[in-house]
Amino acid sequence: MCEAPTWDCDRVGRWLEENNFQAYRQLFCTDHKIDGKSLLMLTESDLRHPPLQIQVLGDIKRLMICLHKLQQLNANFLKDVGFTGFTNGSVKSSSDKVKHRPLQNPKRAVSRLDSVGSLTESDSHHEDVDVDIHEVQLVNSTAGRPSRDLDPELWKTFLSFVYVFTVFLITAFVMVVVHDRVPDMQKYPPLPDLFLDNMPLVPWAFQMCELIGVVLSGICFGILFFHKHRFILMRRLFSILGTVFLLRSITMLLTSLSVPGVHLQCAGKVYGDIWSKIERTLVIWKGFGMSLQGVRSCGDYMFSGHTSMITLMNFFITEYTPRGRMYYLHTLSWVLNLFGIFFVLSAHEHYSIDVFIAFYITTRLFLYYHTLANNRALMQRDRKRTRIYFPLFAFFESKCDGVVPNEYEWPLKIPRSLKMRLYAKTWKKSS
C-alpha cells in the first residue's frame, strides 16, 4: 500500500518528477509546502484557481489522472479524515459538481436560469455551486419549443392596434414638419451617392415599389386571416411596425437631408399654420403615405418607410408559413422584397443609406423580437434589460413562452341555425 500520507515535501517533489511534472516542483514544495496529506486532498478546482492556478489545461488533466490513482491507493486515509471530495473509491473535483438528480420542480428550472446561464468565473471558485443537469437540459430545450400558453389576449391586440394607429398619425405629422424644413435645392444640391450617381432615373419605379408593397401586404394579411393564432401575430406585427415607424419619425425630425434627386419638386414653408399641418397630416395618414393615393412628400428620407414596410411584410410571411411546403411562396416573397428595394433606389426617392438603414433596423428588430419570444430562457435572462429597452415586448409577450405554431383554420364560424337549415335541405334532396 502507498504511504502517501507520511510523505514530506521532498517526497512530493520526487513524485512530481516521477510523473514528469518537475516544472511544478517549486510551486508545490517550495512556494506552498504541499506534503503527502495536502497532495491527496487536492481537487481540480485547487489546480485551476489561485493560489496554484496552473495555466496549462493539459497539465491539469494529466496531473489529476495521476492524483486520482494516488487517491485510490489511499482511499482508507481519505475516508478516515472525512474528505468529502472522495466517494465510492473516486474523487470528485469541481468539474463533477453537475449532479444527475431528479428534477423536483420543473417550473423553477427556468426561473433559475440566471444561476445556470450566467455563472461567472468568480462563481465557479465556490465549492457550493451545484447545477442540476436536468435544469440545464430544460433551459436548452426551451429554444424553439412551442409555447405552452397561446392566449389570444384580445385586449392586448387592441392596444397594439391603438399603438400603431397613433404612431402612424405621429409619423404623418412629422412628415409635414420635415417637409417645411426641406433644404433649398439651389443651395443644397443632392448629396453624392454611390448607387444614385450610377443608376439612371426610372420614373415609374416608385409606383412599382408600392404595388409590390400592396401584394406583400395582401399575402401577409391573408396569412393573418387564416392563422389559428392570428391575434398573437397581429399583436407582434403592430408592435414591431409601430416601433419601426416611431424610430423613423425620430430620425426624420433630427436631421433634414437635401433632396436626393433634381426631378423632385420640393419647396419648404408650404404648411405655415397648425391647422394646415393637421389637414395635411390627415391626408398623408389616410393615403398611407403612398404616391398611388396621391400623397407626395419631401424631407422624409432617413430612413425609407417603403423599404421598412415591404421588408417587414416579407419577414412575417416567411416566419409564419411552413418552410418546407411554402418554399415557392418564401422565394417569391424575398424576390419581391429585393425588387422593391431596387425600385425605391431606381426612382431616386431615397438615398442608398436610407434604404440600407431601413432594411437593417427592420430586420434586426424583427429578429431580436422573435429570438426573445421563441426562447423563454433568453426572455428570463434579459427580462430586466427588456423592460427598460423594449417595454412593448415585455408587455405583449408576458404570457407567450415559446414558438407560435403555424396552424391554420377557417376563422368564420357558421351559425348553428344555418347549419341545421343546410342539413335539412340536404336531407330533403337525398330523400
179 part of the active site: no
Q: 93-116: b or e for each residue (b if 16 or more CB lie within 10 Å)?
A: bbeeeeeeeeeeeeeebbebbeeb
Mean pLDDT, residues 341-345 taken together: 95
Band of pLDDT at residue 234, cut at 50, 70 and 90: very high
Taking residues 272-282, what's their average pLDDT? 85
- Predicted local confidence at residue 333, as pLDDT: 96
Inter-axis angle of helices 230-254 and 205-226, nearest 10: 150
Q: Could you give the residue ranges of the DSSP H alpha helices within 142-204?
A: 154-180
CATH number, span 4-95: 1.10.150.50
Among candidate residues 306, 370, 382, 401, the one labeled active-site is 306
Of residues 115 and 267, the one with the higher pLDDT is 267
CB 230 within 8 A of CB 224: yes
In angstroms, the CA 53 to CA 291 distance is 69
Are the beta carbons of 139 and 116 closer than 8 angstroms? yes
Question: Known catalytic residue: 354?
Answer: yes
Q: What is the mean pLDDT of the chain?
A: 81
With bands split at pLDDT 50, 70 and 90, how would you rate the model's confidence at 373?
Answer: confident
Task: Give the chain's end-to-end CA distance (angstroms, integer).
Answer: 99
- Joined grid coordinates for residue 363: 430586420
**Grid coordinates of 114:** 440566471
User: Exactly one of 132, 193, 354, 401 is catalytic; which is it?
Assistant: 354
Give the pLDDT confidence score for residue 423 in this predicted structure: 66
Cα–Cα distance measured from residue 5 to residue 8, given in angstroms and rounded to the nearest whole number: 9
In the set 350, 370, 382, 401, the catalytic residue is 350
Residue 205 confidence (pLDDT): 93
Tell me the pLDDT tens digit for each residue of 152-209: 889 999 999 999 999 999 999 999 999 888 888 888 889 999 999 999 999 899 999 9
Q: What is the pTM of this model?
A: 0.63
Give the residue extent of every domain in the chain.
Answer: 4-95, 106-141, 154-396
